Structure 1
Amino acid sequence: MAAFIGNQRVEHGVPHRVSCRVVGVSEAWFYKWRRRPDEPTKREVRRAMLEERIFHFFTESGGTYGSPRIVLDLWAENWKVSVNTVAEIMAELGLQGREPPRRRSLTRQGKRKAAPDLVNRRFDAVAPDVLWYGDMTEIETGEGKIYLATVLDAFSRRCIGYAMGEHHDAALVGGSLKMATATRGGRRDGTIFHSDRGSEYTSEAYNTLCDRLGVVQSMGRVGSALDNAAAESFNSLLKVEYIPRHRFATRTEARLKIVTWITGFYNPRRRHSAAGGHVRWRGVLTASV
């Protein structure tokens, strides 16, 4: 605009004062910008670099991180910037984290007696393998639904066991538990596994498997999502951060891509609010990967 005002006088003889009035700026503004050097200022350079890093971290998260998590990534790179500044820049760039959709529950209460609640909504642990929790969720594909059963460690928030199949049954949840124990080296005497009271978790087959693996069952109350909030949170993250950006033509494609998300992003790289915004990997708290 400053160049335009200057050209009006050079090419058409229009005084700067008139041109400034027409375009709605002050003469002081015009003279300030006319004296401005061609090279960008240090502040402008820093702002451009900051915008690039914000966009990078937003993209790396799959378009899911908001300003609180992005600012943690920036701090890890020694940027001195506030959450409000990052939020302002994200708004200017049109970047916005995803909001969770409403989730339908798969829980169907079993007829067998449920295990007691040993957790009481305290989803934290002083060490790995003290407390595990899990749940199931459904995912749409071009071939129909596929179900995912998971087991997560309360200390690291790492998904240590998962299984996918066409049916949500005792075999599916059993497969995720077998993977979890194999990941941790075998039988886990005394490790608590917390779930809802779904028929899959109260089944005789699953109870027997837990006994064989040394896992102690714990279950929340019927109809209370908060009693298994940590597992519900993982399913919600999957449905918010990954599923909306993909369309799975087949169940096999869904299996491969969801496992890639778990092992390539969620486990090693995602920042967890329950861990103070840090990344937890193999049970060790770290500020970054």
Structure 2
Amino acid sequence: MRMDVPSNAPEHCPGTQSESAGKVSACQGCPNQSVCASGQAQHPDPDIEIIKKTLASIKHKILILSGKGGVGKSALTGMLAFGLAADPQRNYVDENLAVISVGFLLGSPDDAVIWRGPKKNGMIKQFLRDVDWGDTEYLLIDTPPGTSDEHLSIVQYLLPAGLDGAIIITTPQEVALLDVRKEINFCHKVNLPILGVVENMSTFVCPKCHKGSEIFPAFTGGAEKMTQEMGIPFLGRIPLDPIIGKMCDEGRSFLIQHPDSLASKAALSIIEKIQNACNPGKVMGESG
């Protein structure tokens, strides 16, 4: 890649020094478009340095991605947050777990967010720059499905601040894996490390007969085979459990309320792998 092409640029970027910078079709949707078109691309966004300082108190920053909607990304993000916050070396989960959402800024839970790209990108920047995050161990960012200019903006703002990487959520069927492969290629193009892939809703275990059924059959081998082919880590499988959705609706931790369930055990194993990926060489449970 040429030095004048930003690391988060779309494919076929003409480069910041080109006369067509910000003006060709390849520039559509790029967070740098307006800056490039104005001829000021050689000057970095001053807010990037501010965001870097603001997020310096957060040890680990992780993006949660999915290729398509409906794979349980947000529910799983909440479960991972509860599990990471429940570290026995730290405070109780209710005291050291916080969330910020654009939903807090709306007049009603039923209000829709009808914003164009620049306003959405401005909101992302404001959340990263202006929130007092305090001394935080993990920041999980639940992103929209797919890839968009919002994803490009997040990567642009967070990579200089020490972004650990991305966790990609999928279900086992090929229609979901097709989109995940695109998500993985997106991560490679923007130099975003991939911490691993989680296969959600892997099987459904009947609470009465305890037999497993594949709701989303993995006819092509599922996420594990895909990760082997693409050379990225496979973090594990989480079975489909209706109680997970119930706990999300009630704002409670599934891991605490149902610690002996198969889904909880699978999630805790995945959380341990995430901690190991973010803290290579450190034995989990150590203080400091």
Task: State TM-score, norm by structure 1.
Answer: 0.27
Normalized per residue, the structure richer in helix is 1
Instruction: Specify which structure has the bigger relative contact order, considering alpha-carbon pairs within 8 angstroms and separated by 6 or more residues.
Output: 2
Higher alpha-carbon Rg: 1
